[in-house]
Amino acid sequence: MTRTAIVTGSTSGIGLAIARRLAANGFNIVLNSYTDAAEDRALAESLAAEFGVKTLYVSADMSSGQAARQLVATAAEKFGAVHVLVNNAGIQHVAPIESFPVEQWDRIIAINLTSAFHTTAVALPLMREAGFGRIVNIASAHGLRASPNKSAYVAAKHGIVGLSKTTALETGGQGITCNAVCPGFVLTPLVEKQIEDLMAEKSLDRETVVAEHVLRKQPSREFATVEQIAGTVAFLCSDDAAQITGTTISVDGGWTAQ
């Protein structure tokens, strides 16, 4: 039986790499983003052709609980079951607490944290029915550590770690696992924007910003890659990881070891 995986926020960056890896492992794939463009559906079709699996693109604004729940319901209607849920959708905004825009706080918490609650709530009964389930929440090193000016992101990612633990406890002995992957700095469009913003703010070149303001937190002094994150997620979705649940796996070049 071919298993079905939903990956939220999966048309670029970490999410797309995860979708590709799971497709390569034979999973049917549900791609998601908030857009609804021809290239989104073409991306799903290209994955199907490349890996010989079935795919579906579902547009859903993950700041909406109703949309997040409908995403999982649509996947179940299409494929008859949901076996894997990867909650990856996320956004970032950087500002001191006293000047942090309220609308940005609300949107970050909604997309980075609350959407995972909604998708999980709908997916769990489907996984119990299937007798198999893997939920992987993409947290962050900021789910285990804090940084200034990232209050909403840090709060959301700490919340994702807690949600993962609770989900694991509620599903013990049911063939379902839930874990959080905590990447450090990965060279994604979101991190590229942070680099560009720091270059403008500090009037520094890219190399200096990366070395002195980004990778200084990672003892490896290297970015993690999207493929490395995808490989970690794929392992957690395998039968070999059946007894790994309720924990965090850091892919951060040693950041959180400090």
Residues forming the active site: 153
Q: What is the amino acid identity at position 156?
A: A
For the record, the structure tokens of 207 come out as: 């190399």
Instruction: Report helix angle 115-130 to 151-170, nearest 10.
Output: 20
Q: How far apart are CA 235 and CA 256, in angstroms?
A: 21
Q: Which residues are within 8 A (CB) of 228 and not within 5 positions of it... i.e. 6 or more apart? A: 251
Q: Find tokens 């119990």 and name the residue.
A: 128
Residue holding tokens 């850091």? 250
Residue 243, number of CB atoms within 10 A of its CB: 6
Quickly list H helices, the chain.
Answer: 13-24, 38-51, 65-79, 102-109, 115-130, 151-170, 189-202, 206-209, 226-236
